Structure 1
Amino acid sequence: MTIRKTTAMIAAITMLTVGACSKKAPETLPPAPEGTDTGTGTGTDPNAVVPGSQQDFIANVASDRIFFGFDQYNVDAEDMATLQSQAQWLQRNPAVRVTIEGHADERGTRDYNIALGERRANAAKNYLASLGIDPSRMNVISYGKERPAELGSNEEAWAKNRRAVTVVIGR
């Protein structure tokens, strides 16, 4: 056999094999598992916000984040108002746990910014605890400068990156 005939034969066999293995979509789908919203109007609105979720949190608090000055981790009056709003939501949702993420801008060493982010997250946690939120419901993590909210090397970007963010992690 020539190389051309062998190549053609291999191509034909490959097409037959692929064609034989392709699956045809079923005409009817199996029933949905028990308790699943099938979208037929018998369940809840698929766009509805689930109580106690991150979406519910964001929709019902002043903000999920507070901001800090350069090299600062103190909670100012504006931050207090935001955290009071978060505390009220957390009191209405006592089974919810949160993680408070601490962040820093790009200036400074990685180690310094990790420590600063942790101080910022702990400042938010401590203020929420002072408002009656059980500290065992709150975890703290610092990302330092590793997860910027805003890219850029200017004061506007840096100001948005010096923050503590409250994230709902579940019940």
Structure 2
Amino acid sequence: MARLTTTILLATALVATAACSKKRPAVLPPAAGEAPPPAYQDPNGGMNGGAGAVTPGSAADFKRSVTSDTVLFALDMYDIDSEARAILDTQVQWLTRYPNVRVTIEGHADERGTREYNLALGDRRANAAKNYLAARGISPSRLSVISYGKERPVALGSDEASYAQNRRAVTVVVN
């Protein structure tokens, strides 16, 4: 009788274990640190092949086409310097090419200062970028601004290198 009980328990354990096993998927995702296979690029420069395709006028096309979507600022400043002008000029070219695209310009600040001060500084930075784009011919109705102050840092840390990355205005394609 004890032998029958042991056999039944072993059989039950084997069935339960077999029911929990998973089949290995046919295609495995890339390992950590491994790049996914590149999308096919056709000879005339367009991307084909589904997941890697970039639609003209999209946010991905914007990021690929402009020098940068981010303009950096000096401490407690919101003026557009020569480096910022060069970046914004590439954004003007892209926005001119796609006149129906709207963008939001996000203003940011580093963690120093009060919340209220940083929200106001982020607003001035976003508006400085907006005003530059508008002065270059982009309709202000296509440009909206928002300030996040110090609430959305891109670089975590309390050092000058982190602060410098967080003092910024970022142009984000909305549609």
Please classify the TM superposition score into its range, dividing by the shorter chain length. 0.7 to 0.9
Match of 1:65 among 58, 66, 70: 70
1:117-162 CA distance string (max 9 Å, x none):
0000000000000100000000000000000000000000000000
Question: SS in structure 1 opposite 2:112?
Answer: coil
1:42-64 CA distance string (max 9 Å, x none):
xx521110111111000000000
What is the rounded CA distance, in whole Å, between the counterparts of 2:58 and 2:113 in structure 1? 35
1:7-37 CA distance string (max 9 Å, x none):
xxxxxxxxxxxxxxxxxxxxxxxxxxxxxxx
Q: Which residue of 2 aligns with 1:106?
A: 111
Q: How does 1:37-116 map to 2 (within 5 A)?
A: 45-46=49-50, 47-116=52-121
Q: Which amino acid aligns with 1:140?
A: V
Q: Which residue of 2 aligns with 1:125?
A: 130
Q: TM-score, normalised by structure 2?
A: 0.72
Q: Which residue of 1 aligns with 2:16?
A: none
Q: Which residue of 1 aligns with 2:6?
A: none
| Cα drift, residue 107 of structure 1 | 0.1
Identity of aligned residues (%): 64
| Cα drift, residue 71 of structure 1 | 0.2
Q: Which residue of 2 aligns with 1:162?
A: 167
Question: SS in structure 2 opposite 1:166?
Answer: strand
Q: Which residue of 1 aligns with 2:151?
A: 146
What is the rounded CA distance, in whole Å, between the counterparts of 2:151 and 2:70 in structure 1? 17
What is the rounded CA distance, in whole Å, between the counterparts of 2:151 and 2:81 in structure 1? 24
| Cα drift, residue 115 of structure 1 | 0.2
Q: Which amino acid aligns with 1:45?
A: G
What is the rounded CA distance, in whole Å, between the counterparts of 1:84 and 1:45 in structure 2? 31
| Cα drift, residue 105 of structure 1 | 0.0
Question: SS in structure 2 opposite 1:128?
Answer: helix
Q: Which amino acid aligns with 1:142?
A: S
What is the rounded CA distance, in whole Å, between the counterparts of 2:120 and 2:113 in structure 1? 11
What is the rounded CA distance, in whole Å, between the counterparts of 2:162 and 2:60 in structure 1? 25
Q: TM-score, normalised by structure 1?
A: 0.73
Q: Which ranges of structure 1 fall in alignment gaps of 5 or more residues?
A: 1-43
Q: Which amino acid aligns with 1:90?
A: L
Moved over 2 A (4+): none
Q: Which residue of 1 aligns with 2:44?
A: none
Q: How does 1:16-27 map to 2 (within 5 A)?
A: none
What is the rounded CA distance, in whole Å, between the counterparts of 1:64 and 1:45 in structure 2? 26
